[in-house]
Structure 1
Amino acid sequence: MKTEEDALVTKELLTHSNIHSNLAVPQLVEKILEKEEAILSATGAVCASTGMYTGRSPKDKFIVRDDVCEDFIDWGDVNRPIDEESFDMLLRKVTAYLHDKEELFHFKGFAGADPNHRLPIEVINEYAWHNLFARQLFITPSDEELNTHQSEFTVIYAPTYKADPAVDGTNSETFILISFKKRIILIGGTEYAGEIKKSIFSVMNFILPQNDILSMHCSANVGQEGDVALFFGLSGTGKTTLSADPYRRLIGDDEHGWSSNGIFNIEGGCYAKCINLSPKKEPQIYNAIRFGSVLENVVLDGSSREPDYDDTSLTENTRAAYPLGNIDNIISPSVAGHPNTIIFLTADASGTLPPISRLTKEQAMYHFLSGYTSKLAGTERGVTQPQATFSACFGSPFLPLAPATYAEMLGQKIDQYNSSVFLVNTGWTGGAYGFGQRIKLSYTRAMVHAALEGELNSIETVTDKIFGLEAPMHVPGVPDEVLVPRNTWSDKEAYDAEAKALAMKFHDNFSKFNKASEEIRNAGPIYKG
């Protein structure tokens, strides 16, 4: 809980003469249009531009180093420390800055759909459209819950306030600062709304494991028989797309907790990538973008205001934020049982990993700790084409604790609940990025369906000679040649060279996990140079 001293900062902002608390969606839309923060699209969604920052700014994120978190945080390039004095000084500046604004917006809600494990939060910010974003992405309380709501973490967001690195101790004009002692998140110098969502996720990744709950960067859905599936993967690997299955009910698209009771969604909405969105390929997402939704950096037709989801002139990281209720087949509340199937998603730009392979427990732990994918264009500032990256637990940028903490918890749960684990490559085939092509979404859906339905349990497999992965030789609805990536390359020697290079990247990356068991270390690629 917040101390009385910490609550004074929030109380000071809430004394603003013109602060709007928990406005209804239509009221927020009216404010957005009145203030000309965004324009109304033909779908009824508001469409905002985030200016020069169209993705997260990971190098501008800091955690306040204090006696509350000092011994727990995995300090380093991901979790950069900032001292308490610098945080307090910047907090005072931002508070004064916001107090001078004509009006402010205030949202109270929850992170966590399970009432036993939810975190009461509040967002105080400058823009109405950011407040609408928060309302759609987090869990909105009922009137009764709102009356008794006591915030335990506050987001203070001043997008137009720019820090002075020389004075404020930041890396640039942009800052995302988390104080676990004061239980405040301070954001400024960027209009990219995703910073709100991901900062709260980082907080949950600190709090939940301390309560024996595994926090996960994954989507989740449940089948007609009650079987639960998890989809792990970084942005752009297909979590949102693949979990939005018309034959399965959605639990959530990005962030979940796994307690002794089962799975629960951390959020109340979805934050979907819009690049090349179409009603044919992703009908649920396409139809979910309607009144009350928020479009980020999507280009609209000048006369009709129809969204052009193929236009990447602003960024490839175009986004839509909408509440779970905009999808028909959801499970409400967003809680379910223990997962039967776990799927690790990777967008392999080298075009060498099998499209699907079943993992042993040891391989599952190896690939979870590795978290390999290709960072896609626009997701972060400065990324203009896919880059091979290893993100521990498929969510390293959001993990305050050491990756082994989350990996050990996942391994225990796989054992305890006998979950099946698959590695699915949603990246390239027939060649590396620039030469091959992206694996067809219809093929990926067919492979995932087969995995979820148990159709791959008895199908003949072939062992990849470089990666040591067991790939099925047949999957209903997928051409056999697609299942063995080497067969899709016209130049086999080029494939071998690319695959061996990726295998060595796996080994080089995994060397930092020197405390991993020999069984887990040996579960990586067979080729060792």
Structure 2
Amino acid sequence: MNSVETANELTELLAGQNIKEQLSVAQLVEKATSRNEAILTADGAVRALTGKYTGRSPRDKFFVEEDCSKDKIDWGKVNQSISSEVFDNLYKKVVDYLKAKEEVFVFKGFAGADEDSRLSIRVVNEYAWHNLFAHQLFIRPSQEELANHVADFTIVSAPTFKADPAVDGTTSETFIIVSLEKKIVLIGGTEYAGEMKKSIFGIMNYLLPEQGIFPMHCSANVGAEGDVTLFFGLSGTGKTTLSADADRKLVGDDEHGWSDKGIFNIEGGCYAKTLNLSAEKEPEIFNAIQFGTVLENVVVDEATRIPNYDDAQYTQNTRVAYPIQNIDNIVDPSVAGHPKTIIFLTADAFGVLPPISKLTKDQAMYHFLSGFTSKIPGTERGVVEPEPAFSTCFGAPFMPLHATKYAEMLGQKIDEHEANVFLVNTGWSGGQYGEGSRMKLSYTRTMVRAAINGKLDNAFKKEDKFFGLQIPSEIDGVPSNILDPRNVWEDKDKYDATAKKLAGMFHENFKKFGTVAEGILKNGAPRV
């Protein structure tokens, strides 16, 4: 099946009488509840359950091996290849499957708030609540934009269509397949809506570098003077919490591009975790849950329809999807200038990294490629002591190109705009997990604000001997003794041994980059 035949199949599908295109939020809420896909909660949100798939399925995600991209993609365990024949066969089956459905839902919109580089997208859904999710997460078009909308990429999602691996050539009943040549994302066998969001992010991570734009898995905010800060960090490091600052406006909470004009949000909404959510701890997210937002796998009281965010009956990965406009303190449209401050967040459960340190450009590229945080006991089965977790570029599952391409773009941006980069440890101090204590959020906020406001420009006068990191001597509002992590360990020899152990883990992880990152390794790696 060539590109023309693929387009013809899609055209025939979208011309069907069963197509419901660009329904409003209210209409999609009605459809989702009347079709028993979801229930309405007390605050007007739609709650859906996703069955056995409550998160992404990375082993079932593929790129089609095609002439246009096969020499560019960094093939391996993350970016798995699949043949055109497998894609074509499944695509035909899924399209025929959807043609037979009583209703199919279509959303047209955009990815990328920068109009010069945005991607026009179309989302074709079997489920109304999936289409509502797309409406809330992607950028919604104006009536004029909708009239002239021509899709660059199309998502075709049929969660109840299950593949037969023996016949269809997949690894399981689930598949997420991206054809960059035919500009289609094909999803089946999973009801987890996040696959749509992350598939488009992966496509943007492939396309934007070709335009000289640096794609980033980070949150971003901007101050009253237009000063922009980026926050990179894996789950549990405090990215969402620290980027939500009453004194600064949110640009976006998860995906951004950095062009010659500045930064822009790739999305039109937020996809936040809700486990243990409360109005006191995270008021912005809590108050953003309004009519038409989508709750995934959240426990809801059958009688009152009040969500219980503390109950993880279905999964730890409970989520809410809402338009960014549900947050008061935002930049709209979601664009801003060039960042002057970049924060890398890590939750070091070994307790040896400084609570804040300043990075050279090479160190920034090194730690960006490393993407370090820690797993702590209890987070996963079998984790009984702190374990390192490395996710390249703070988002390895979504990076189709070789990681060094993204690191080089980061280095160029740091040079061009003289951005300051800080590594902030929101993890443990005075000992590793189980011995020391977690860094106080109030101290971390004070340090981050001081870094953003330029109050630390002359504060870094000491170098950590294990990691080569610059440590500040004092910060107003933060006890000086905690700034050098070795000071707060009672057993200094144990600190030294633990620091050497973690430094060795960094070196071991970096071996996967081989000789292509030798310069970064030489000047940015831990000293031991």
TM-score, normalisation: structure 1: 0.94
The answer for the alignment partner of 1:88 in structure 2 is 88
Q: Which moved more, 1:354-363 or 1:306-315?
A: 306-315
The answer for the alignment partner of 2:278 in structure 1 is 278
Q: Which moved more, 1:9-18 or 1:60-69?
A: 9-18
Partner of 2:218, secondary structure, is: strand
The answer for the alignment partner of 1:522 in structure 2 is 523
The answer for the alignment partner of 2:359 in structure 1 is 359
Q: Which moved more, 1:44-53 or 1:460-469?
A: 460-469
Distance 1:384 1:294 in 2: 32
The answer for the alignment partner of 1:238 in structure 2 is 238
Superposed CA deviations along residues 113-144 of structure 1, whole A, max 9, x for unmatched, are 01100000011011111111111110000011
Q: Does 2:214 correspond to 1:214?
A: yes
Residues 57-96 of structure 1 aligned to structure 2 (within 5 Å): 57-96=57-96
The answer for the alignment partner of 2:470 in structure 1 is 470
How far is 1:434 from its partner?
4.8
How far is 1:176 from its partner?
0.9
Q: Does 2:2 correspond to 1:9?
A: no
The answer for the alignment partner of 2:186 in structure 1 is 186
The answer for the alignment partner of 1:414 in structure 2 is 414
Q: Which moved more, 1:91-100 or 1:495-504?
A: 495-504
Is the Cα contact below 8 Å between 1:246 and 1:284 reproduced in 2? no
The answer for the alignment partner of 2:401 in structure 1 is 401
Q: CA RMSD in A?
A: 2.3
The answer for the alignment partner of 1:445 in structure 2 is 445
Pick closer, same or farther for the CA change 1:160–1:421 going to 2, 3 Å: same
Residues 118-197 of structure 1 aligned to structure 2 (within 5 Å): 118-197=118-197
Distance 1:175 1:444 in 2: 41
Is the Cα contact below 8 Å between 1:221 and 1:249 reproduced in 2? yes
Pick closer, same or farther for the CA change 1:54–1:260 going to 2, 3 Å: same
How far is 1:348 from its partner?
2.4
Residues 285-300 of structure 1 aligned to structure 2 (within 5 Å): 285-300=285-300
Partner of 2:192, secondary structure, is: coil
Superposed CA deviations along residues 274-302 of structure 1, whole A, max 9, x for unmatched, are 22222222221121111121111222234
Superposed CA deviations along residues 404-452 of structure 1, whole A, max 9, x for unmatched, are 1111111111101100101112233344345554433333222211111
Q: Which moved more, 1:461-470 or 1:317-326?
A: 461-470
1:97 partner amino acid: Y
Residues 341-352 of structure 1 aligned to structure 2 (within 5 Å): 341-352=341-352
Pick closer, same or farther for the CA change 1:473–1:85 going to 2, 3 Å: same
Is the Cα contact below 8 Å between 2:278 and 2:286 reproduced in 1? yes
Partner of 1:416, secondary structure, is: helix
Q: Does 2:36 correspond to 1:36?
A: yes
Pick closer, same or farther for the CA change 1:455–1:133 going to 2, 3 Å: same
Distance 1:89 1:223 in 2: 51
Pick closer, same or farther for the CA change 1:277–1:476 going to 2, 3 Å: farther
Partner of 2:424, secondary structure, is: strand
Distance 2:383 2:11 in 1: 42
1:523 partner amino acid: G
Partner of 2:413, secondary structure, is: helix
Partner of 2:524, secondary structure, is: coil
Superposed CA deviations along residues 231-278 of structure 1, whole A, max 9, x for unmatched, are 112333332222221111111111111111111111101111122222
Pick closer, same or farther for the CA change 1:104–1:429 going to 2, 3 Å: farther
Is the Cα contact below 8 Å between 2:349 and 2:376 reproduced in 1? no
Is the Cα contact below 8 Å between 2:365 and 2:520 reproduced in 1? no
Partner of 2:44, secondary structure, is: coil
Distance 1:389 1:89 in 2: 37
How far is 1:47 from its partner?
1.6
Distance 1:352 1:201 in 2: 33
Superposed CA deviations along residues 341-369 of structure 1, whole A, max 9, x for unmatched, are 01112232333222211111111111111
How far is 1:387 from its partner?
5.0
Pick closer, same or farther for the CA change 1:497–1:384 going to 2, 3 Å: closer
Q: Which moved more, 1:469-478 or 1:329-338?
A: 469-478
Q: Does 2:254 correspond to 1:266?
A: no
Distance 2:120 2:382 in 1: 34
Give the share of equivalent positions with the same residue, in percent. 63
Pick closer, same or farther for the CA change 1:442–1:144 going to 2, 3 Å: same
